[in-house]
């Protein structure tokens, strides 16, 4: 009954809030346009203004009481002194409401603020900001930021009034780390775009998309600065708040530190940073190979792209290194998993990214080799296409395999030092199963393509496509699946060879005599510990005393 009631209240409150934000932002936009803020408007004239005011007023007048009534009823359940206030604060519906509302309002703030920054930069650069409405962006930003700030304050008040557990805690926490991740990604790619623009300006190679205009750099500059400023603000604000919660010495920090979402954020950043670093560097090296093969002029544009690729790859590699250090430090802190788990969370995701790039590159190069050896549709085009394939995929194959070997050597060293602990690791097992599943799916798809082409040839059907590409993918997938499947089998055999603590019989060469100490009822546990210490002191060398932990 309570779940259905919460679902109704928070659903209607969320819908009412969404309509209210839309109506209020439209009303504020109309007022800002009336005082002269705004560019070229699609709708102009007094009649259009009246229509927008009518629509905005109607939306606000309908949505405001809907949101107020349902939000009042929802808030009444969490007031101090209510018998079920703690349960209400920790309810999944309330947690989901805060996560969705804060996330939706943040997206509205993000898009409107980004558009405002672009408008300002374009105006300063002297370019005409076409199809942009600063009044609409400013109105949405003000209303969305006000609603976001109010709900954040309510959320902080809930924590001050008592502990929150379960879904009521982790759903808003998911918003926190997802917003932190999105802000960081926008910041990093914005900096990468700015570095690319600077390299083009220094070398004197305009962007081919915008080089027709005199200020070709204005639009790339506006986009890069908007990503940097808005993404940086979102990341810094949310990351600061997440670190504050992590370091909290009160009950809030005790609840936050064991949460796994922080480590999910770290792993996601490591994956994106590793993939972007390999992607940018591989793209730059591909341009160098294209120039070496004569398929691309080694002019200023190629030099600018190479410099931009190197700078962007360095940027993402630095982000990877910083977050890897943060992850290891968090894992070693009290409440975190442990140092070994931190190393695994760094090594395995990065190794998987490298393996993905390397496998795709090797599979495509093998496919091109088979096409060159046995003939196919691609060879008829000429050698230039083959050189393009080599230039495009050799850098990714080499970089991917290099990153995989770098991280896999750390994994192999850890398994050699502690085979039982590494073999029983959930992170290792999940990584191996993930790679095995991806390899099997890729192999099945490649084999299906090969059989389709084969049967098409037998039945006289002109099956489109090149047989070399799926054959190369199949060989690569089989090799990856065989290697990782063998590792999984070895780990399973190692786990089976280690006796469990739950009472498995010992090996035949280590006999045991099971004794059981029965204490009188009410015996102090400290007395039992003293007796055990005395017994262990009298044991001969090579003997040990195991705890049964059964009390009568």
What pLDDT does 409 receive?
Answer: 94
E-only strand ranges, 86-165 = none
Of 504 and 169, the one with more pLDDT: 169
Task: Answer whether 426's CB lies under 8 Å from 345's CB.
Answer: no
Q: How confident is the model at residue 376 (pLDDT cuts 50, 70, 90)?
A: low
Buried b (16+ CB within 10 A) or exposed e, 203-214: bebbeeeeeeee
pTM of the model: 0.83
For 192-205, what is the mean pLDDT?
A: 84
Q: What is the pLDDT of residue 549?
A: 42
Dist. CA 544–CA 536, nearest whole Å: 7
Which comes out higher in pLDDT, residue 325 or 468? 325
According to the model, what pLDDT value does residue 503 have? 45
What residues contact residue 24 under an 8 Å CB cut-off, 6+ apart?
Answer: 56, 60, 143
Tell me the DSSP string of 4-65. Answer: HHHHHHHHHHHHHHHHHHHHHHHHHHHHHHHTT--S--SS-SHHHHHHHHHHHHHHHHHHHH
pLDDT by residue (tens digit) across 506-547? 555 556 666 767 777 667 666 767 777 777 767 776 677 765
> Is the predicted pLDDT of residue 432 greater than 80, yes or no?
yes
pLDDT in the model for residue 522 = 63
Contacts of residue 507, Cβ cutoff 8 Å, sequence gap at least 6: 499
Tokens of 322: 């910083």
- Are residues 429 and 344 in contact, defined by beta-carbon separation less than 8 angstroms? no
Whole-number Å distance between alpha carbons of 130 and 123 = 10
CA-to-CA distance for 202 and 296, rounded, in angstroms? 21
Taking Cα atoms as reference points, which of 307, 302, 304 lies closest to residue 290? 302
Inter-axis angle of helices 426-458 and 339-374, to 10 degrees?
A: 20
State what percent of residues in the chain have pLDDT above 90: 47
Cα(177)–Cα(245) distance, rounded to whole angstroms? 12
pLDDT at 380: 39
Give CB contacts under 8 A, 24+ apart, made by 446-450: 446/470, 446/471, 446/473, 446/474, 446/477, 447/474, 450/474
CA-CA-CA-CA torsion for 437, 442, 443, 445, nearest 10 degrees?
120
The sign of the torsion formed by the CA atoms of 113, 116, 122, 127 equals positive
Structure tokens at 67: 């949101």
Query: What's CA 327's distance to the chain center, in Å?
Result: 14
Q: Is the pLDDT of residue 441 over 50?
A: yes
Structure confidence at residue 384 as a pLDDT band (50, 70, 90): low
Average confidence (pLDDT) over 157-182: 90
Summarize the confidence of residues 5-19 as an average pLDDT: 93
Q: How far is CA 456 from CA 10, 373, 453, 467, 485, in A?
A: 57, 21, 5, 12, 33
pLDDT score recorded for residue 167? 87
Q: What is the pLDDT of residue 107?
A: 95
Contact call for residues 132 and 147 (beta carbons, < 8 A):
no
Residue 388 has pLDDT above 90, yes or no: no
Using alpha carbons only, give the angle 512, 518, 519 rounded to the nearest 5 degrees.
140
**Strand, coil or helix: 509:** coil
pLDDT at 378 over 70: no
Cβ count within 10 A of residue 528: 13
Report the chain's mean pLDDT, rounded to a whole number: 84
pLDDT score of 161 more than 50 = yes
- pLDDT > 70? residue 199: yes
CB burial class (10 A; 0-12, 13-18, 19+) of residue 44?
A: exposed
CB-CB contact of 183 with 234 (8 Å): yes
Top-ranked range on mean pLDDT: pick from 214-223, 335-344, 385-394, 438-447? 438-447
Q: Cα(185)–Cα(227) distance, rounded to whole angstroms?
A: 9
| 230: enclosing H helix or E strand | helix 218-246
Q: Name the more confident of 254 and 223.
A: 223
CA–CA gap between residue 171 and residue 100 (Å, rounded): 9
């Amino acid at each position: 009954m309570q779940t259905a009631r919460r679902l109704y209240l928070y659903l209607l409150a969320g819908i009412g809030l969404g309509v209210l934000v839309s109506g209020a932002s439209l009303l504020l936009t109309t007022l800002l346009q009336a005082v002269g803020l705004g560019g070229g408007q699609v709708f102009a004239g007094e009649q259009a203004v009246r229509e927008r005011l009518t629509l905005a007023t109607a939306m606000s007048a309908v949505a405001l009481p809907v949101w107020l009534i349902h939000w009042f009823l929802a808030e009444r359940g969490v007031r101090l002194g209510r018998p079920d206030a703690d349960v209400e604060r920790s309810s999944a519906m309330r947690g989901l409401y805060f996560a969705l509302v804060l996330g939706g309002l943040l997206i509205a703030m993000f898009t409107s603020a980004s558009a405002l920054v672009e408008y300002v930069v374009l105006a300063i650069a002297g370019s005409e900001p076409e199809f942009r409405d600063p009044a609409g962006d400013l109105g949405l930003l003000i209303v969305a930021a006000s609603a976001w700030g109010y709900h954040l304050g309510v959320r902080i008040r809930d924590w001050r009034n008592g502990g929150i557990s379960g879904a009521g805690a982790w759903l808003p926490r998911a918003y926190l780390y997802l917003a932190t991740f999105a802000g960081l990604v926008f910041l990093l790619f914005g900096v990468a775009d700015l570095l690319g623009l600077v390299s083009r300006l220094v070398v004197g190679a305009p962007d081919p998309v915008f080089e027709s205009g005199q200020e070709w750099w204005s639009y790339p500059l506006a986009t890069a600065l908007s990503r940097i400023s808005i993404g940086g603000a979102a990341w810094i604000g949310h990351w600061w708040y997440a670190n504050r919660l992590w370091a909290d010495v009160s009950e809030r920090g005790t609840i936050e530190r064991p949460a796994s979402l922080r480590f999910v954020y770290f792993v996601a950043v490591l994956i994106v940073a590793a993939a972007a670093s390999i992607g940018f560097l591989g793209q730059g090296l591909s341009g160098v190979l294209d120039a070496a093969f004569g398929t691309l002029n080694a002019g200023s544009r190629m030099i600018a792209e190479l410099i931009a690729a190197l700078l962007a790859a360095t940027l993402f590699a630095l982000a990877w290194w910083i977050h890897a250090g943060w992850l290891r430090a968090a894992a070693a802190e009290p409440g975190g998993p442990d140092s070994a788990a931190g190393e695994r969370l760094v090594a395995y995701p990065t190794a998987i990214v490298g393996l993905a790039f390397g496998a795709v590159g090797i599979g495509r190069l093998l496919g091109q080799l088979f096409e060159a050896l046995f003939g196919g549709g691609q060879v008829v085009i000429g050698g230039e296409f083959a050189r393009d394939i080599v230039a495009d995929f050799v850098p990714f194959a080499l970089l991917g395999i290099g990153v995989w070997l770098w991280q896999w050597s750390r994994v192999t060293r850890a398994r050699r030092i502690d085979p039982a602990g590494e073999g029983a690791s959930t992170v290792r097992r999940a990584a191996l199963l993930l790679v095995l599943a991806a390899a099997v799916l890729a192999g099945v798809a490649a084999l299906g393509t090969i059989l389709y082409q084969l049967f098409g040839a037998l039945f006289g059907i002109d099956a489109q496509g090149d047989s070399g590409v799926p054959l190369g993918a199949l060989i690569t997938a089989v090799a990856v699946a065989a290697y990782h499947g063998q590792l999984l089998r070895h780990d399973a055999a190692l786990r089976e060879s280690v006796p469990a603590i739950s009472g498995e019989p010992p090996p035949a060469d280590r006999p045991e005599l099971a004794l059981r100490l029965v204490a009188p009822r009410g015996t102090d546990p400290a007395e039992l510990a003293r007796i055990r210490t005395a017994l262990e002191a009298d044991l001969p060398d090579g003997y040990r005393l195991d705890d049964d932990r059964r009390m009568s």
